[in-house]
Homo-oligomer: A and B are copies of this chain.
Amino acid sequence: MTMRVLAFMAGVTAALTAHADEGMWPFDNVPKAAIKTQLGVDIDQAWLDKVRTATVRLSGCTASFVSPDGLLLTNHHCVASCLSNLSTPQKNLLADGFVAANRSGERQCPAQLADVLLSMEDITAKVNAATSGLNEKAANEKRKKTLTQLEQACEEASAKDKSTGALKCESVTLYDGGQYFLYKYKRYTDVRIVFAPEQSIAAFGGDPDNFQFPRWCLDMAMLRAYDNGKPAATPNHLRINFAGPAAGEAAFVSGHPGSTERLLTVSQLEERRTSAPLSLLRASELRGRYIQFGKRDEESQRIVQDPLNGLENSIKVRRKQLDALLNDKLIEQKTRQENALRSAVTASGELATRTGDPWRDIEKANEAFDSMELPFTFIEGGMGFNSRLFNYARALVRGTTEREKPNTDRLPEYADARLPRLTQQLGAAIPIYPDLEKLTLSFSLERMREWLGPDHPLVRQLLSKDSPDSLAARLIDGSRLADSTVRSALWKDGSAAINASTDPMIQLARSVDAEARAIRKRYEDEVEAPVRAATERIAAARFAVFGTRVYPDATFTLRLNPGSVQGWKEGGADVLPFTHLNRAFERATGAEPFRIPDSWQKVKSQLDMNTPFNLTTNNDIVGGNSGSALINARGEVVGLLFDGNIHSISGAFWFDTEKNRAVAVHPAIMREALRKVYRAEGLLKELSGGK
């Protein structure tokens, strides 16, 4: 339940050399020869094109088309927010699961999108030409404007191109500025839930088992993409091979790894190590508040479940990342690699002149960041205003102002290319729970006061006559932003309506906006600009020294990774790559999160206890690969990625060939469950090529 993209990981890196199964390769740069050598598998362009167009990007996850009628296979935890949003006090879809009786029973997930990557255009030369000769700060601004311009031009061109229809064009930065691309997507905005099992079996073992193996999770779900109210036609789809893979068999992962930071400089790693505890401590306290809130009653438990799951997952990830950062061996290896590159640069006179000392520049930028980290995190980063209503309010306040500026003068998240998505999000009828909002907002105000100090001017402004509790209650109770029609009306009416609004949350967002923008600008000029300038020079130096045997760090864009079905050795003992159904029943305690649902208990005698359940591979994956298909050499789905083992978490910084393993649902348990537990014969028929 773990491999969703974690937003906080956005970083500044690029990766260097590839071990056997290491590397997240863009589809235009797949090392076919190495795959042939290492795995004995021929990957041709047709295979790549089919896999690429059958792979779908969801919010923070991946999915694959598995029928010609737009049917998507992904993880249960990738649709958990959809299930939670569609639930009511009377019907808890997260707990109870969901099986659409037929297509008319498929229910739209609010604000869910599905993107298919159609093409990639290299725009590095255009971007570099635009920033050439500018100083760091000016280059940083010009670069953003140029990317906005190119996205806009691309979307306008596609809208006029009848062969593609209107596409979403997104700029992509690879190698931290070594390359810039436009990625062009076909976007589905109507995505419906088709099937989800009960969370008890989807996430059997819950947080204690998360990132562990052996494992028994049916972490699967099915969605369907719709086009103009009809199931999308998806001739390029993948078939599921329910027999699954053999041990040692080659297996590919096509998906959207969210973020890795494998070539951070040593000073950046040390900066991460020092700042990691702050967010972990906050997250841990919030976990405690959530858990205690859930004990109030069943309804509180229901509404807190989805945010709690996400939080616990991110805590485990960040905790193990901190462990990795505290591992001296990591710092030693990174120091060796950095020194090797620096020596090579120094040895080449021309390159040395061109490169300068970007490592020192980054160190200086880190020092500048130290002095602004806390206000940036709490005020612009929003960690002092943890509230969905505040997020709406900020988007409305900023978006209406920005929208009135020329496209390239805006904050990038309000560029024209981004506005349809924002309009959809503001208008989506998603339930807001006032008590939970008060909890998160009061919590974050209290921590802002703790960390910025009670005498910080903004803290004084907010809390000179209020406690965090009383302020949060007044804001949440007084705001009407939970109503999507209110939000849509404000959005439509623009900045005049916003400025006239007496909604207290709008007023709050207005009152902190100037200070938030100021600290952001300071961050962009004093940290982002010099770091980006430095990482561009490091990327150029690395290309010059090591050539093209490199893969870029993950950026939540489409990648292919080659690997094979493998267990590993833990404390000298073999961990076998397959688990089976029988052990799940033996291990169940009857109490959450080790409860096998009634639907399974009822048919227990009919189930084949030897059915393979989960499996491990040595694929190189990271958050965002959740829901990725595991694909064999013939282009069949032989598994559904949903997690990594505990060693995989350090994959943010390096790849441990011996121990880093991906964890997938075996297709045999999918079939067994669909057939005998959920009696989803229609779906099975569709998956088997019938209608």
Contact = CB atoms under 8 A, between A and B. Distances in A.
Interface of A: 205, 207-209, 212, 270, 273-274, 277, 280-282, 284-293, 295, 315, 319, 322-323, 326, 328, 439, 443, 449-450, 453-455, 463-467, 469-470, 587, 589-592, 594
Contacts of A274: 323, 326
Copies in the complex: 2
Task: Describe A's contact surface by its main secondary structure.
Answer: helix
A473 to B, nearest CB: 11
Contact of A292 (B293, B315, B450, B463): B293
Nearest to A326: B274
A288 B292 contact: yes
B465 A591 contact: yes
B449 A208 contact: yes
B591 A450 contact: no
A319 B594 CA distance: 34
Q: Which 7 residue pairs across A and B have the least CB separation, nearest first?
A: A288-B288, A292-B292, A467-B591, A284-B284, A285-B288, A288-B289, A284-B285
6 contacts: A277-B280, A277-B322, A285-B291, A288-B443, A289-B292, A292-B293
Given A293-B292, A439-B292, A589-B466, A205 B280 contact: no
Contacts of A454: 205, 208-209, 587, 594
B467 A592 contact: yes
B208 A453 contact: yes
A288 to B, nearest CB: 3
A354 to B, nearest CB: 31
Given A463-B591, A467-B592, 5 more contacts: A274-B323, A284-B284, A284-B288, A464-B589, A470-B591
Nearest to A214: B455
Contacts of A207: 450
B285 A465 contact: no
B212 A453 contact: yes
Contact of A277 (B212, B277, B590, B592): B277
A652 to B, nearest CB: 16
Contacts of A328: 270
Nearest to A209: B454
A364 to B, nearest CB: 16
A631 to B, nearest CB: 32
Contacts of A589: 463-467
Contacts of A326: 273-274
Nearest to A452: B208
A8 to B, nearest CB: 16
A589 B455 CA distance: 12
B450 A208 contact: yes
Contact of A286 (B212, B270, B280, B288): B288
Contacts of A212: 453
A465 B277 CA distance: 35
Contacts of A587: 454-455
Contacts of A277: 277, 280, 319, 322
A290 B277 CA distance: 21
Nearest to A293: B292
Contacts of A465: 589-591
Contacts of A323: 274
Contacts of A290: 288
A2 to B, nearest CB: 14
Contacts of A469: 295
- The CB with the most chain B CB atoms within 10 A, among A291, A439, A453, A465, is that of A291
Nearest to A294: B292
A203 B315 CA distance: 32
Nearest to A327: B274
A464 B455 CA distance: 51
A326 B278 CA distance: 13
Nearest to A312: B450
A576 to B, nearest CB: 15
A284 to B, nearest CB: 4
A270 B331 CA distance: 14
A450 to B, nearest CB: 5
A447 B453 CA distance: 31
Contacts of A288: 284-292, 443
A284 B290 CA distance: 13
Given A212-B453, A439-B292, A319 B281 contact: yes
A295 B465 CA distance: 20
Contacts of A281: 280-281, 284, 315, 319
A363 to B, nearest CB: 12
A199 to B, nearest CB: 15
A589 B459 CA distance: 12
Contacts of A463: 589, 591
A578 to B, nearest CB: 18
Contacts of A280: 277, 281
A212 to B, nearest CB: 7
A591 B466 contact: yes
A466 B592 CA distance: 9
A467 B595 CA distance: 10
Nearest to A371: B571
A118 to B, nearest CB: 43
Contacts of A464: 589
A371 B477 CA distance: 51
